[in-house]
Chain A
Amino acid sequence: IAGITQAPTSQILAAGRRMTLRCTQDMRHNAMYWYRQDLGLGLRLIHYSNTAGTTGKGEVPDGYSVSRANTDDFPLTLASAVPSQTSVYFCASSEGPGRGGEAFFGQGTRLTVV
């Protein structure tokens, strides 16, 4: 049982470079989310998608973009990385808002922008 798979697990990236963090789920969940976790700040929502074909902005969307071409995949792209984007990124999925279900998390991607 895979659940949610994130790749890569860690990455060191030069500032200004473009990078895509991958996230795939096999639970046929409608909703998917990207959070970043920084020490002392908890988890902050970057972008989300309540169903394939739709996306929404979270609390800290600037500098990030997402797409949801199908149910299973929800990639997060940093168009031009900056050091403040150094963080641990978590992808999650759930049945969807209003359905009252739990969220399932991937193991995270540790990104360092230098």
Chain B
Amino acid sequence: SQQGEEDPQALSIQEGENATMNCSYKTSINNLQWYRQNSGRGLVHLILIRSNEREKHSGRLRVTLDTSKKSSSLLITASRAADTASYFCATDPSLYSGNTPLVFGKGTRLSVIA
């Protein structure tokens, strides 16, 4: 079964607002990654946070990780219409579960209205 579960399933905001998406997972991980998918396209890697890190930034993206709660959040600041996409978290449990590949959640559909 899928490890990561994103929340909310869908999010609609105005351009310029911040968007926050959450991810919860079940088992120990090496790292957690966030991906973006534009409609009809493949997933594109956004950011990776290791299990010993608590926060990471990349441009307008801010990711936090709380391993005690098994949760992560992705914050997109000052959102733009071009940020409209689906966002997925993926967990890498491989060091704990026999080299298992990335496990993806169901995603959050973000709509940014201009």
- A4, A96, A101, A106 pick with most chain B CB within 10 angstroms: A101
The 6 closest A-B pairs by CB, nearest first: A97-B94, A42-B106, A105-B42, A102-B45, A97-B99, A43-B104
A105 to B48, CA, bound (A): 16
User: Interface size for chain A: under 10, 10 to 19, 20 to 34, or 35 or more residues?
Assistant: 20 to 34
- Contact mask for chain B residues 33-52; partner A; CB cutoff 8 A; 1 contact, 0 none: 10100001111110010100
Q: A12 within 8 Å of B by Cβ?
A: no
Number of B residues, CB within 8 Å of A = 28
The interface of chain B, by Cβ under 8 A from chain A, is: 1-2, 30-31, 33, 35, 40-45, 48, 50, 88, 90, 92, 94-95, 99-107
A33 to B42, CA, bound (A): 13
A35 CB → nearest B CB, Å: 7
